[in-house]
């Protein structure tokens, strides 16, 4: 009985740690499949985290908080879209600038909210949580956002490979010139993909500040945006691999906490590195095959589109 409890706790904790990566990563995957490389994920997540937190505390409704966070992420993505798609600025430089902007702006917005207490959304949704048995308590930690993250890879797989919209998305990312010649509106599709990516980043950030560690502090995303970006590339733009990478990261994060709790005689800083390191190493090994990487990479990734006509 006790072992099942521990196992359940590990599974739940892993899923929760993987959720922000899964959601932000999937948003970025869609944007990149359309041929746009947005390196601003970290910044958009931070905006989502601060705006989501403030929105929830101010309105008392986590749902409004999440919506506000998605809008904030999408707003930042819109800035990116205008700069890179309409004005054809360099995507890499603009994305980096977006992250720097997001780090600073989220800190500015959230400056009065550091240390404000907030109950986790799980407690909000299930009022009887604290009285339930430990097993049920664990299960109830799986809030709707986690369930969304669990379903996401399968939805994404179906969307990308089985629907017409997914086919058009892949086509635009493969060759914008051909898509344009066939009469598809490359810019409109890319704007939609980038905005969707921003909204998902905002949602992922808000999950961190509303559910994972219910509080706001500066730079609390702590590089997860970058990991999400790396996961997209190493997963060779495939949703199921992205899910596996996210779960791996989540699992090593939990293992690291356990190791610290057990009082392992290793520097906590080294342990804190572990999830990032392990994820990157494993994914590099997975995506070692250069041909496969080239085959699956959206061929037009990062290239500005200009309709020559």
Partner 1 sequence: MDARSLTPRLRLSGITKRYAATLANSDISLSIAPGEIHALLGENGAGKSTLVKIIYGVVRPDAGAIAWEGAPVEIADPNAARRLGVGMVFQHFSLFESLTVAENIALGLGASETIAELTVRIEEIARRYGLAVEPTRHVHHLSVGERQRVEIVRCLLQSPRLLIMDEPTSVLTPQEAEGLFDVLRRLSDEGCSVLYISHKLEEIKALCEHATVLRAGRVVGECDPRVSTEQQMAELMIGGALPTAHRAAPLREGRPCLEVARLTLMSDEPFGTHLRDISFTLRDGEILGIAGVAGNGQKELLAALSGERRAPTAEAVRIGGVAAGLLGPAARRRLHQSFIPEERLGRGAVAEFPLRENALLTVYQAGFVRGGLIRFASVARYARDIITRFNVKAAGIDAAGSSLSGGNMQKFIVGREIGTNPRVLLAAHPTWGVDIGAAIAIRQALMDLAAAGSGVLVVSEDLAELFEISDYIAVLSGGRLSAPKRTHETTVEEVGLLMGGKMEAGAGPAVADAA
Please, what is the minimum distance in Å from the beta carbon of residue 302 to partner 1? 17
Q: 269 to 298, contacts with partner 1 by CB under 8 A?
A: 291, 294-296
Residue 35 or 52 having the CB closest to partner 1: 35
- 306 interacts with partner 1 by CB under 8 A: no
How many residues in total does the chain contain?
309
- Dihedral, CA atoms, 304, 302, 71, 202, nearest 10 degrees? -170
| Residue among 168, 222, 280, 282 that touches partner 1 (CB under 8 A) | 168
- 133 interacts with partner 1 by CB under 8 A: no
d(CA 202, CA 205): 5
Q: 169 to 188, contacts with partner 1 by CB under 8 A?
A: 170-171, 174-175, 177-179, 181-184
Angle between helices 186-207 and 62-81 (to 10 degrees): 140
- 309 interacts with partner 1 by CB under 8 A: yes
d(CA 156, CA 135): 31
Selection from 252, 217, 63 nearest residue 145 by Cα: 63
Residue 177 or 218 having the CB closest to partner 1: 177
**CA count, 13 A, side-chain hemisphere, 23:** 28
Do residues 114 and 220 touch, judged by C-beta distance below 8 A?
Answer: no
Please, what is the minimum distance in Å from the beta carbon of residue 189 to partner 1? 12
Please, what is the minimum distance in Å from the beta carbon of residue 306 to partner 1? 14
d(CA 163, CA 158): 7
- 303 interacts with partner 1 by CB under 8 A: no
- 1 interacts with partner 1 by CB under 8 A: no
Residue 169 or 211 having the CB closest to partner 1: 169
Residue 56 or 236 having the CB closest to partner 1: 236
Site string for partner 1, 135-164 (x = CB under 8 A): -----------------------------x
Residue 151 or 182 having the CB closest to partner 1: 182
CA distances (Å), origin 108, targets 103, 104, 186, 218, 287: 9, 6, 35, 9, 39
Please, what is the minimum distance in Å from the beta carbon of residue 171 to partner 1? 5
Please, what is the minimum distance in Å from the beta carbon of residue 151 to partner 1? 24
- 100 interacts with partner 1 by CB under 8 A: no
| Residue among 5, 61, 299, 306 that touches partner 1 (CB under 8 A) | 299
Please, what is the minimum distance in Å from the beta carbon of residue 137 to partner 1? 46
Q: Give residues in contact with partner 1 (CB under 8 A).
A: 164, 167-168, 170-171, 174-175, 177-179, 181-184, 291, 294-296, 299, 309
């Amino acid at each position: 009985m006790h072992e099942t409890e521990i196992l359940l706790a590990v599974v739940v904790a892993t899923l929760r740690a993987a959720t922000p990566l899964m959601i932000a990563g999937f948003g970025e995957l869609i944007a990149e499949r359309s041929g746009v490389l947005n390196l601003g994920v970290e910044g958009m997540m931070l905006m989502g985290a601060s705006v989501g937190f403030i929105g929830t505390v101010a309105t008392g409704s986590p749902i409004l908080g999440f919506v506000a966070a998605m809008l904030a992420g999408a707003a930042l993505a819109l800035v990116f879209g205008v700069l890179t798609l309409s004005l054809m600025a360099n995507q890499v430089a603009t994305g980096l600038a977006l992250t720097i902007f997001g780090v600073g702006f989220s800190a500015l917005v959230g400056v009065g909210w550091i240390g404000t207490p907030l109950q986790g959304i799980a407690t909000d949704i299930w009022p009887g949580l604290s009285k339930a048995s430990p097993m049920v308590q664990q299960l109830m930690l799986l809030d709707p956002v986690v369930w969304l993250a669990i379903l996401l890879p399968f939805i994404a797989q179906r969307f990308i490979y089985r629907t017409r919209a997914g086919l058009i998305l892949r086509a635009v990312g493969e060759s914008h010139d051909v898509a344009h010649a066939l009469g598809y509106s490359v810019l409109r599709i890319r704007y939609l993909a980038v905005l969707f990516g921003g909204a998902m980043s905002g949602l992922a950030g808000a999950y961190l500040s509303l559910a994972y560690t219910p509080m706001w502090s500066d730079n609390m995303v702590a590089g997860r945006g970058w990991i999400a970006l790396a996961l997209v590339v190493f997963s060779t733009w495939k949703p199921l691999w992205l899910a596996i990478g996210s779960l791996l990261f989540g699992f090593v994060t939990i293992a690291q906490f356990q190791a610290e709790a057990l009082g392992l005689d290793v520097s906590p800083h080294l342990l804190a590195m572990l999830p990032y390191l392990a994820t990157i190493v494993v994914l590099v090994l997975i995506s070692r095959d250069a041909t496969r990487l080239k085959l699956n990479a959206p061929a037009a990734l990062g290239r500005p589109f200009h309709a020559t006509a």
